[in-house]
Amino acid sequence: MTDQEIADLLAAQTALISVLFEELFKAGISDRREVVNRLYDLLEEQNAGKPPSNRSAPIRHLISILEK
């Protein structure tokens, strides 16, 4: 797989996850702010003591979608 194919796959998976979260939010099963805060916590855990890397890109992408 090329880097672009991997990036496209991750973007598609992130978009799918965001749709699932939106349904949970609409149904009142989950709270948007709680989910976004937990994603920020996860991002901090991944980056603690290490320089930012591409592995945090899907989390950052999901946060940006959910914060809109």
Q: How far is CA 61 from CA 34, 47, 55, in A?
A: 17, 15, 11
Q: Going residue by residue through the chain (68 aa), what tens digit of pLDDT does each one get?
A: 898 999 899 999 999 999 999 999 999 999 999 999 999 999 988 877 666 667 788 899 999 999 98
Q: Are 15 and 65 in contact (CB under 8 A)?
A: yes
Domains contained in the chain, number = 1
Q: How far apart are CA 3 and CA 33, in angstroms?
A: 32
Q: How far apart are CA 54 and CA 45, in angstroms?
A: 14
Report the predicted TM-score, pTM, of the whole model to 2 decimal places: 0.80
Q: Which residue range forms the structural domain that includes residue 61? A: 3-66
Q: How far apart are CA 57 and CA 7, in angstroms?
A: 9
Cβ atoms within 10 A of the Cβ of 46, count? Answer: 13
